[in-house]
Amino acid sequence: MLDLKYVVENLEEVREILHKRGAEARASIDTIAEKAEKRRRVIHRLQELRTGQNQANALMAKLDKKSGAFAQQRDALRQIASEIKGLESEHREIEAEISNLLLHVPNLPADSTPVGKDASDNPLVRSWGQKPEFDFEPKDHTDLGLALGIIDFERATKISGARFSFLLGHGSRMIRALMAFMLDLHGEEHGYTEIWSPVIVKDETMRGTGQLPKFAADSFRIDWSWDEHQENQGHDLYLIPTAEVPVTNFHAGEILDAEQLPVTHVAYTACFRSEAGSYGKDTRGLIRQHQFDKVELVRVERPDQGEAALEKLTAHAEEVLKRLELHYQVVLLCSGDLGFGSRKTYDLEVWLPGQKAYREISSCSWYGDFQSRRANIRFRPAKGEKPKFVHTLNGSGLAIGRTFVAILEQYQQKDGSVRVPDALIPYMGGVEVVKARES
RNA sequence: GGAGGAGUGGCCGAGAGGUCGAAGGCGGCGGUCUUGAAAACCGUUGAACCGGCAACGGUUCCAUGGGUUCGAAUCCCAUCUCCUCCGCCA
């Protein structure tokens, strides 16, 4: 969420910068400015009335309760009290209107985010490794996995529907191996604190990181209409689309000490996405599932460290691909392709020989104070100073399902077996090659 | 699921319709004293918002949301959270 004061004081600039996103959000900026002015007037009047009321009330306390003066004064104050009550409800209303509008406005892209229209304008930043060469026609992971007997879509569809999967044997084992490998790398070598998290969160938590209110359709909401008390719960529950949501909100509502920063967390969680609007896209295979596993990196930083931390975070995510010796490239998202809450984002794209394409396997973003303002996460720069909003960052390190896909496709051999990356062999219990399951 | 109890400032803890942003203590910060430190003593110590170039002034906040009242931390209602006991359960 943007700072209302900043928006009002820099109207032109905000309009201009949002224009780079090609966003329809610009229109609401003018409405917000109008409402902000109205809000100011209401608050001002309200305070005047209250000052008067407070002074009069102080006198009341000293008056003889049986005197005529008391009765007279009381009647006069009734008038003021009811006027205040009216203004208060007007005030509540306008605050709600403003924050509702503000919650729908995307973040301002950073200066270093290139201006562009869509993904085709994303500049290539760097590339690592080489496309593996095959003296045969490489298969895609679906064919490989089915032939090896380590993936089963049909039965998953039977029990859960489309976009779900069973993994078996070394397939299942490899998910577990990747999870442990990534957690160890980031935890032990990159210094992140491992954290295990709930995967069901309140709507306000989703609002904190920006998934709500605008992207409700992208997530799974829990239906607890079976609970006769549900209307008294005061909140909805959602399955998290990424560990970013619970982990970034870990310090929601808190004021951190400066020495606590940066807070760095690495979390493994299952992730759930409705994938509404992606009908017909990636219907085959493991690329786009309703449920997938991900190891996520989250950093909470001092504002002056925010943008620099994005480089560190991205390097940490890249290290996973390097250790696994998977060819990939890094692109910088342009303003038109940038996520709602992000100021700057690097995407890591891994090479998939079966698709002959680079596919996103990690997205590393710097949010500035966009999320911390929503989630109210602050820090005190120094003793006696006012709290300020922190900067938040997060990035996949990595999406496990897609890493599994990349390994199958980049490490496949002519006979349909798949070599296990050296770094992963210890985590696979010494298995060096995944061969067809006999069973 | 049943029965009780509790939610006050960084922490502990008073308060019980009017002068309470809230006694007292602890902790933190500044100072006096000391060769240094401790002790002792003195002072200071929350957040958000509005107005103002500023000094400063004002408003709101005692779990949350409503209500009663001229006036609520104090009374009423609802919700949330925590604790204790019983039951059930991975």
Over residues A165-192, the pLDDT tens digits come to: 999 999 999 999 999 999 999 999 999 9
- CB distance under 7 Å to strand B: residues: A 5, 40, 43-44, 46-47, 50-51, 53-54, 56-58, 60-61, 65, 74, 77-78, 80-81, 92, 229, 232-234, 383-384, 386-387
pLDDT tens for A389-407 read 999 999 999 999 999 999 9
pLDDT of residue A100: 87
User: How confident is the model at residue A233, as a pLDDT?
Assistant: 56
Categorize the per-residue pLDDT at A223 as very low, low, confident or very high, splitting at 50, 70 and 90.
confident
Q: Which residues pair with A431 in a beta bridge?
A: none
Instruction: Please give the full DSSP string across A280-297, using - where no structure is assigned.
Output: TSS-SSSSS-SEEEEEEE
- pLDDT at residue A285 is higher than 80: yes
Sort strands A391-399 and A291-301 into parallel, antiparallel or unpaired. antiparallel
Could you tell me the distance in Å between the CA of residue A57 and the C1' of nucleotide B90?
59
Looking across all nucleic acid strands, the nucleotide with the smallest C1' to CA distance from residue A63 is B18
Question: Catalytic residue numbers of A?
Answer: 273, 288, 360, 363, 402
| A11 or A437, greater pLDDT | A11
Model-level pTM?
0.93
Q: Is the pLDDT of residue A43 over 50?
A: yes
Q: Which fold has domain A4-103?
A: Helix Hairpins (1.10.287)
> What is the C-alpha to C-alpha distance for residues A148 and A142, in angstroms, rounded to an integer?
10
| Answer CATH for A119-434 from 3.30.365.10, 3.30.1240.10, 3.30.930.10, 3.40.50.2300 | 3.30.930.10
A124-128 and A418-419 beta bridge pairing: unpaired
Query: Is the confidence at residue A232, as pLDDT, over 50?
Result: no
User: How do residues A240-283 score in pLDDT, each as one tens digit?
Assistant: 999 999 999 998 888 888 888 899 999 999 999 998 878 888 98
- Which residue, counting CA atoms, is nearest to the C1' of nucleotide B18? A61
Q: What is the pLDDT of residue A225?
A: 65
Phi, psi dihedrals of residue A160, rounded to the nearest 5°: -130, -20
Distance CA A264, CA A397 (A): 13
Residue at the smallest CA–C1' distance to nucleotide B64: A234
Six-digit token string for A241: 């689309």
- The model's pLDDT over A295-322, given as tens digits with 9 standing for 90+, comes to 999 999 999 999 999 999 999 999 999 9
Alpha carbon A419 to chain centroid distance? 34
What percent of chain A lies above the pLDDT cut of 90?
67
Q: Which of strand B's nucleotides are less than 7 A from any protein C-beta?
A: 18-19, 28-29, 47-51, 58-60, 66, 69-71, 78-80
Gap from A389 CA to B40 C1', in Å?
41
Give the pLDDT mean for A333-353. Answer: 96
Domain boundaries, chain A: 4-103, 119-434
